[in-house]
Amino acid sequence: MSFLVLKTPPAKVEVVQAGKGRDLLFLHGAGGHMPNDPLLATLATKYRVSAPLLPGYGRSEGEDGLRDMLDVTLHALDVMEKLKLKNPIVVGHSMGGMIAAEMASIAHTEIEKLCLLAPAGLWLDDHPIADIFAKLPYELPALLFHDAEAGKKLLTAGGGDMGDIEFLKQFLVMNARRLGMAGKLLFPIPDRGLAGRLHRITAKTLIVWGREDVLIPPIYGDAFKKAVSKSKLIKIAKAGHAVGQEKPAAVLKAIQDFF
């Protein structure tokens, strides 16, 4: 994998690039890229993957200039343009799926292939989404993965010592930057009006959900399916919210079969 730094207003953007083949743009969820992210590695076996980090994540900067959904959506479109991708498959997971869906709603003549992995962005009163901002770190594996033990290993790979004050400080800074940014789209309710714009999507759209998703229940997949005209919904067994990291091969196959 290689790192690329783009100059996109308001500031620089870190992009992870890997693989060869057709262009695929990947937008991460609120947790950012996982250490040695299995989904990115798997997608890179068949595609030329470009995975920019949202400002506030990694070495991407400029988060103070991004305050709301429109700011973030336009920023993501700018990044896509700067990357000079050719008719890419735009894939987004969770918060990244919300951003991807917004991009495809607003710039519907520019995005023809869209893949949403358990996207955020809708709210159903009868099926409230868990409040990730009030969760403690130890609660996350069970919220994100069907196999919480395996998920915990994925999340903490390369982790440091929380007893070390310097490491703890760095961790708190990273967490505040990332989730501080994510909160502008997801806090306190992850709904910024996407439901009123989904009808504008003209892209061929694949929606993928983990059957065991306890963060955003699979019924949201049906709601997205209903709202996006040229869409197909696939539910993957024994997978939680981090469906791509938990079942990377199945997600790759679904993308290859659909596009």
- Burial code (b: 16+ CB inside 10 Å, e: under 16) for 18-33 equals bbeeebbbbbbbbbbb
CB of 133 to other proteins, least distance (A): 5
CB of 259 to other proteins, least distance (A): 35
Could you list the residues that contact other proteins (CB under 8 A)? 63, 67, 133-136, 139, 162-163, 165, 168-169, 172-173, 175-184, 187-189
- Residue closer to other proteins by CB (options 84, 188) is 188
CA proximity to 102, closest of 123, 64, 72: 72
Non-local (6+) Cβ contacts of 111 within 8 A are 90, 103, 104, 203
- Residue closer to other proteins by CB (options 183, 211) is 183
66 residue type, one letter: L
- Residue closer to other proteins by CB (options 32, 218) is 32
- Residue closer to other proteins by CB (options 24, 129) is 129
CB of 182 to other proteins, least distance (A): 8
What is the C-alpha to C-alpha distance for residues 88 and 24, in angstroms, rounded to an integer? Answer: 5
CB of 137 to other proteins, least distance (A): 10
What is the C-alpha to C-alpha distance for residues 73 and 100, in angstroms, rounded to an integer? Answer: 8
